Amino acid sequence: MNPEEVFKRYDIRGKYPEEINEEFAVRLGRSLGTFISNNFAEKAVVCRDNKDSSTPLKKRLMEGLMSAGLEVVDVGVGPTDYAAWCGNKESCVSVQVTSSHMPLNFNGFKFMYPEGNGFVNEDLYTVQDLFRDNEFVEVEGELKENKKLLNEYKKELTSFSSDIAEDFDKKVVFQSMGGTGRILPELIEDLGLEVVDISEEKTPYMDPPNPKPDNLEKLVQKVEEENAEIGIANDLDADRITVYYKDRFLSGDEIFGILAQLVEGDIVASIDTSQALEEFAEVDYTRVGDPFVMDKALDIDAELAGEPNGHYSFTEFVPYNSGILTALILTGLDIEERLEALPEYFIERESIETGNRHELIKFLNSDIEDEKLISDLDGVKFEEGNAEVLVRPSGSSPKVRVISEAKTEKDAKKGLEATKDRINQF
């Protein structure tokens, strides 16, 4: 087993059973159990998504955790934010068996701290080192089940969202892709809204279970047929949301802007988020990636945190992305009124191939005048004419991603073209 192949930046994922299998899960449980014993209470919550391969992987993972002396609390099947919420309630590390929106022949694992936020790179690498070196604690643990937590989680979701809700007079179309978001329709109905669930099965059926617009033709069609106000989709582990409203998909920045209007405290956002968010609150920016966003949110006690890729968290509920809670909140809002309150910005995006993306970022950093530099947290963000431009290296391919944002479409396009000219000088 080669951990370098499946230990990624924020989680663990690979093909099942070629890269991740039951033997891997036991060893991972022993590695994580050892890490937990050395750093936290000797206890762990374990949950899984509803993919077939998640059942045996979860079983063997729990065996590994127990062999390291942990009390393992099996909380059943549910979204990843449910696992994080349970870990918070039990004051222990939590684990979700899932590969989220990856193809169905993949599987994986997500680790969350007792507070509910995901593991940062440093701790994930420590678990990887334990896995590689076969350095495990050897103590007998125990297994407990707690099936009551799911109902408590649902009640808190309903209570939290109903306190924010403004408008219950609408019809909602929902698409779970057969994932763990299947609990959402009953929660929407509990709020008093009409819901049309077009999910075809109770197990994953869309491959990959990714709620990007290209995969949501049936959602669009049903919204139009039913004359519904809004269409909502989640990915497999329901930490991501896509929203269809008035003949178009809302951008991740628009959703973030709507949510920003609901809080009075600070907001934490990844550096690729639109500056429109600053209209509503003080915004602290981080590197792109859920662990960085949530770690900062806890550090400054932010009320809302997220990224424009469909990940949002109201940290008072749990500092982990919840497509379920975000959906419940949005269905209870006057979305049109909230959209009208958003300042208008235009965004131009482009991915550019380059031989050495990291050297290119260094070149841009040295090429940009100090007074124009906005941030070098993740790539480089700078002023280009009347635009703000972010250039980030891709994490998986020899490319840089360029985002140019301005108050006019003309200025956004100018910012993009001027940045491409800079890149061509590299």
For the annotated catalytic residues, the residue numbers are 100
Q: Whole-angstrom distance between the N-terminal and C-terminal Cα of the chain?
A: 40
CB atoms within 10 A of CB 164: 16
Q: Residue 403 to residues 14, 32, 278, 416: CA-CA distances in angstroms? A: 30, 38, 17, 7
Residue pair 56/127 in contact by the 8 Å Cβ criterion: no
Contacts of 225 (CB under 8 A, 6+ apart): none
The rounded distance, in Å, linking the Cα atoms of 362 and 351 is: 18
Q: Which two tokens stand for residue 354?
A: 């380059």
Q: Which two tokens stand for residue 106?
A: 């993949």
The rounded distance, in Å, linking the Cα atoms of 202 and 178 is: 5
- Give start and end residues of each alpha helix (H) in 47-194: 54-67, 80-90, 121-133, 148-164, 184-190
Residue type, 244: Y
DSSP, collapsed to helix, strand or coil, labels residue 132 as helix
CA-closest candidate to residue 152, choices 102, 86, 107: 86
CA-closest candidate to residue 415, choices 386, 394, 391, 393: 386
